[in-house]
Amino acid sequence: MADTIALGQPTVGDEELDAIRAVFDSGWLSGAGPTCQSFEARFAAEVSGTDHALATSNCGSALHLGLSVLGAGPGDEVVVGDYTFPATGHSVAWTGAKPVFADIRPDIWSADPASVEAAITPRTVGIIAVDVFGQPADYDELRAIADRHGLWLMEDAACSAGATYKGRQAGSLADIATFSFHGRKGITAGEGGALTTNDADLAAHARKLHTYGIAPAISREGSTDLPLPVFDEAGYNYRMSDLAAGVMLAQLDRLQTLLANRRRVAAWYGELLAAVEQVAAPVALDDREHPWQSYVVTLAPEVDRGAVAGYLRQHGVQCNFGTYASHLQPVYGFEGSLPVSADLFHRHLAIPMHANLTQSEVERVVATLKDALTAARSN
């Protein structure tokens, strides 16, 4: 059998190894050190339109920090775009607040503004929009809703590094935004995350909470006396290590090349899939730049997704479902129907997408998908 085509694959090499070596040489390997500071400055500059970036251990911790400094807590409700990995809903639950899920647009799968507004109650304090697979949600409409109801707005930009919305960078589209640098993301240190905001007070509070409730140790580096931090608020250990920050600096150097490669792969897929029956390619809207963290197709309702996925895997093409219809997960005890999200949860199929794919590999993926559909129809 031919070599397996990976669903996702990081792009790493000597540059990342050199960055790790530089951190070793610095003597500061732990979290929130000088390399983290350098990464935060670079990332804030990359996300033009935002002033503050905070490196975190992962996107879930960034979400929790954001919700905490925005004041979400017991008795509150937060409206969340439904189609997302449950880290989004979990982060709301971690604060003691209740996630209330909103249905999604059938084309780009982010929160439907009408469903968001319908989900607002007197207990609602904010909205989390999710940039599904990286394509930004409808922030103008969502901001108008938030302002009309006196709510804050968060951007779950876990997949969105390098994306834009009407010329504005993902990460600058809400009161607070959060990113993931997990191994499947467009830029990665294996794990890691970031929080971005324009609000200096929110940024300072998040920085305090992400180091157990005190200023990071680097703030006391070089002191000639013996400062004793005082804990007046219970925080968390949500810091990114300087080793991961070194890798992220190298990844930022690659970002534009990686985005261009992913967009080229998406264009190849779009051309090839146009002639494939029972499969709809994902939609990329003209007013936003899609970073293509994943490439997720929609199968026709009559297609047996499990059979198609099994065939692909047996023939060396990795695949997976898209993401979760969060409201269907029993942990949330959600009562209600979100039909668009529920339907797509059962019809989406993620096929290989990463910056290292060649045109011949993309052609093989699509050819194998066509064969899988034929085999599924004959069973």
Residue 349 CB: number of other CB atoms within 10 A?
Answer: 21
pLDDT at 88 over 90: yes
pLDDT on residue 54: 98
> Cα(6)–Cα(355) distance, rounded to whole angstroms?
11
321-344 average pLDDT score: 97
At residue 207 the predicted structure's pLDDT band, cuts being 50, 70 and 90, is very high
pLDDT on residue 222: 76
CA angle 154, 158, 87 (to 5 degrees): 80
**pLDDT over 90, % of the chain:** 93
CA angle 69, 75, 80 (to 5 degrees): 65
pLDDT on residue 42: 97
pLDDT digits over 145-178, tens only?
999 999 999 999 999 999 999 999 999 999 999 9
> Cα(182)–Cα(199) distance, rounded to whole angstroms?
26
pLDDT at 1 over 70: no
Domain positions in the chain are: 14-252, 255-378
DSSP symbol at 130: E
* Distances in whole angstroms, Cα of residue 312 to Cα of each of 204, 205, 280, 340: 48, 48, 17, 26
3-state SS class at 332: helix
Backbone angles phi, psi at 370, to 5 degrees: -60, -45
The region that residue 75 occupies, defined by phi over 0 for left and psi between -120 and 50 for alpha, beta otherwise, is left
pLDDT on residue 335: 93
pLDDT at 306 over 70: yes
> Cα(45)–Cα(42) distance, rounded to whole angstroms?
5
Taking all residues of the chain, what is their mean pLDDT, rounded to a whole number? 96
Superfamily of domain 255-378: Aspartate Aminotransferase, domain 1 (3.90.1150.10)
pTM: 0.96
> Cα(154)–Cα(197) distance, rounded to whole angstroms?
10
**Residue 97, burial from CB neighbour count under 10 angstroms (0-12, 13-18, 19+):** buried
CA 59 to chain centre: 7
91-118 average pLDDT score: 98
Q: Which two tokens stand for residue 163?
A: 């994306």
Q: Which two tokens stand for residue 160?
A: 């969105």
CA angle 227, 230, 231 (to 5 degrees): 145
pLDDT on residue 368: 98
37-44 average pLDDT score: 97
pLDDT at 209 over 60: yes
166 flagged as catalytic:
no
Q: In terms of Cα–Cα distance, which of 116, 126, 122 is closest to 70?
A: 126
User: Which residues, at least 6 apart from 46, have a Cβ–Cβ distance to it below 8 Å?
Assistant: 161, 169, 252, 255
At residue 141 the predicted structure's pLDDT band, cuts being 50, 70 and 90, is very high
pLDDT at 317 over 60: yes
Long-range contacts of 75-79 (CB under 8 A, 24+ apart): 75/123, 76/123, 76/124, 76/125, 77/121, 77/123, 77/124, 77/125, 78/124, 78/125, 78/126, 78/127, 78/128, 79/111, 79/116, 79/119, 79/120, 79/124, 79/126, 79/127, 79/128
pLDDT on residue 227: 85
Q: Which of 166, 185, 208, 370 is catalytic?
A: 185
Tell me the angle at which helices 14-26 and 34-46 cross, rounded to the nearest 10 degrees: 140
Fold category of 14-252 in CATH: Aspartate Aminotransferase; domain 2 (3.40.640)
User: Which residues, at least 6 apart from 218, have a Cβ–Cβ distance to it below 8 Å?
Assistant: 28, 32, 33, 34, 37
The answer to whether 80 and 326 are in contact (CB under 8 A) is yes
